[in-house]
Amino acid sequence: MRVFEKNSNIFKLLSEAVSEGIIVINEEQLIVAANTRASAMFGYENEALVGEPLEVLIPQTYSKAHQTHVSGFYRKHEQRRMAEGRTLFGLRKNKDQFPLEVGLNPFVLYGNTYVLALVIDVTERKKIEESQKMKTAALEAALNGITITDALQEDNPIIYANTAFEKITGYAKEEILGRNCRFLQAGDHDQEAVKKMYGAIKEGKGCHVQLRNYKKDGTLFWNEVSINPIADESERITHYVGIQNDITERKMAEQEIGHLARIFDESLNEIYVFDAHTLQFINANYGAQKNTGYVMAECKKMTPLDLKPEFSEDKFRKLISPLLDGSMEKMDFETVHRRKDGTTYPVEVHLQISSLGDKQVIVAIILDISDRKDYTQKLEKTVERRTEQLKKALETEKELNDLKTKFLSLVSHEFKTPLSGILTSTILVGKYTEKDQQEKREKHLKTITGMVHHLTQILDDFLSMEQLEKGKEVYHHSEFSLSKLVNEVIYNANMLLKNGQRINYPQNIDDVSICQDEKIMALVLTNLLTNAVKYSQEDTEIDLKVDLMADKIIIHVKDQGIGIPEKDQKHIFDRYFRAENVLTTQGTGIGLNMIKAHVENLGGSIFFISKQNKGSTFTVELPLGKAP
Ligand code: ADP
């Protein structure tokens, strides 16, 4: 101690010149010298530390360990830093502790061993270290990917990347550091956002972009990147800090929402959103505007009532009340919508309650059901038509039954006379056994033949009519000789002739062939000639005339008979109708009705002129065709 007292001026001079605190202790661990810096550091007045034990500068907790340590140190006698790797603490006079760094330098002076301790207060440095540690931990803990690139190095390589960045990209730190960030684009450089980002970096500015980036395994992810330049005092950009955020999910959701919004907008069905309380439209899609003719600005001033002529406000509010009180989630009904131009169309309305922010709204989807309505109406019409057809078929069937019943009664009546005639004639024929009675026999045989023809005709008429009624008659056109047909018909009619009656054969039909339905023509001619014979007296003539043209044939059957009373003429083609002047003559009233139907079915016509007691002329016109 004395040594230092003696040389205190020299020590002072030297020790005050250094910036560290200097404390010298002797082997008894007593402080023998301390410079001003050291005294101030520990909160003592100048020289106040001299003579104090070293312990006063060491916190209690470390004191014991320290003493052992120091003794050992004295023995080893070497120069070194104290507590390397650990933080040492000093104790100020006011008992505050502070971190310090101590370098120990033992030396021997005049046979005494001393230790010169160089003491540095590291409070500030520790604070900075702590703060940096905290910042690094914060960066590491951040959920955003964070990178720092060195702008002063070539190609701006990454010098720091946090754990989140590794997680987002799938790359490990050693694969990231030293590379330019563009490796995340994996060749997909043709992006507007990439251009924008490079432009900003070139100008030394920050930017915020959304990029398509690729993870180590090749999967795409949307990276929301914020780049911020860091400059030094001379405004030179030294680093870029990049903050990355994987927004793939958000992006997908946005795309989905965008897609849904597009569906809403572009749907050709009408979709409206209106306020559940004020009823005012909030939105109307393209389909709604197109169908109604209103534009959005007009729609926004309207309510559903402006489209629904069938609803009063009261009625509509009542209808939607279950949606508002929660008793129903959705409802649908049919009504009519009115367009801007006043026209209306049937619609099916679907309403559903929803919310927009804190507002209760109703979403309305409207289907134009005009087509469906048309279809239903068409269906109803078809059903009506079919019902009508069925009704007719039923009536026809009934008529046919009536006809059969009537025919049976008719047959029993109409057949009786000819049959008894035939019977009488056969009995009489049997009685004329003499040779010279041939004439009488022939007369009766002629009667029998006539009666049989008459009966055959009745049956033919009836069968033909039944065919007609059933709609089963099929017509067969063929080329045939007109004269041959006329000959046959007249031959049969001649059997029925009364005394002195004659049928005049047409003169102009030799070698004429025509194309028509031969069977029907024979039926028509037979009927007309039979009537002419039947309704004419003895000694009268019947003319059969034919007018032949290129496309048609006209047949006239003219008699000099009893004629048709004028008042009956309009009914003459009605089925079963018989004029009042023929009631004593046999007949059924079927023939004319039936041949008229046939003639008309073949595209022809039939008419007559008649005068009572003077005679009648029936005329038939038939088109001529070509044989198939
Ligand atoms: P039908 O001769 O079996 O009574 P038609 O249908 O052939 O039945 O004729 C209907 C009615 O038309 C006859 O009952 C008759 O009153 C009248 N009629 C037809 N042809 C003649 C004719 N040539 N002269 C006078 N009346 C006729």
C-beta of 458 in contact with ligand 1 (< 6 A): no
Ligand 1 pocket: which of 456, 572, 619 to mutate (most atoms <8 Å of CB)? 572
pLDDT at position 72: 61
C-beta of 361 in contact with ligand 1 (< 6 A): no
C-beta of 242 in contact with ligand 1 (< 6 A): no
C-beta of 588 in contact with ligand 1 (< 6 A): yes
Its CATH architecture, for the domain 256-369, is 2-Layer Sandwich (3.30)
Alpha carbon distance 572, 288 (integer Å): 66
CA of 101 to the centre of ligand 1 (A): 150
Extended strands (E) in 376-498: 478-481
CATH number for the domain whose boundaries are 374-470: 1.10.287.130
C-beta of 563 in contact with ligand 1 (< 6 A): yes
Mean pLDDT for each consecutive 10-residue tract of the chain (628 residues)? Answer: 59 78 90 90 90 89 66 60 71 92 86 88 89 88 91 92 94 94 90 91 90 94 93 91 92 85 82 94 92 94 94 95 92 94 93 88 90 80 90 84 72 78 88 88 87 83 76 84 94 90 93 92 95 95 94 96 96 91 87 93 96 97 78
C-beta of 579 in contact with ligand 1 (< 6 A): yes
Beta bridge partners of 283: 273
Q: Which residues contact 38 (CB under 8 A, 6 or more apart)?
A: 21, 22, 23, 49, 119
Ligand 1 atom closest to the CA of 592, numbered from 1: 6
Cα separation values, 111 from 33, 40, 79, 153, 325, Å: 18, 31, 18, 58, 104
Query: What global pTM score does this model have?
Result: 0.41
Domains of the chain, by residue range, sit at: 2-125, 142-246, 256-369, 374-470, 478-623
Compute the Cα dihedral for 168, 170, 173, 176 and give only its sign. Answer: negative
Alpha carbon distance 201, 211 (integer Å): 15
Alpha carbon distance 579, 610 (integer Å): 12
Domain 142-246 matching CATH 3.30.559.30: the answer reads no
Helix axes 591-601, 438-470, angle to 10 degrees: 50
C-beta of 572 in contact with ligand 1 (< 6 A): yes
Measuring CA to CA, which residue among 286, 294, 282, 293 is closest to residue 267? 286
pLDDT at position 180: 92
C-beta of 595 in contact with ligand 1 (< 6 A): no
CA of 398 to the centre of ligand 1 (A): 26
Determine if residue 610 is left, alpha or beta; phi over 0 gives left, psi from -120 to 50 gives alpha, anything else beta.
beta
* Helix (H), strand (E) at residue 282: strand 281-284
C-beta of 104 in contact with ligand 1 (< 6 A): no
Q: What is the DSSP letter of 454?
A: H
Q: What is the DSSP letter of 167?
A: H
CA of 588 to the centre of ligand 1 (A): 9
pLDDT at position 1: 46
User: Whose CA is closest to atom 19 on ligand 1?
Assistant: 531
CA 506 to chain centre: 77
Q: What is the DSSP letter of 53?
A: B
2-125 CATH pick, 3.40.50.720, 3.30.450.20, 3.30.365.10, 3.30.360.10: 3.30.450.20
Neighbour-count burial of 435, counting CB atoms closer than 10 A to its CB (0-12 exposed, 13-18 middle, 19+ buried): exposed
Topology agreement, domain 2-125 and domain 256-369: yes
Ligand 1 atom closest to the CA of 536, numbered from 1: 24
CA of 573 to the centre of ligand 1 (A): 9
CB atoms within 10 A of CB 174: 7
CA of 576 to the centre of ligand 1 (A): 10
Question: Class for domain 478-623, per CATH?
Answer: alpha beta
CA of 578 to the centre of ligand 1 (A): 6
C-beta of 532 in contact with ligand 1 (< 6 A): yes
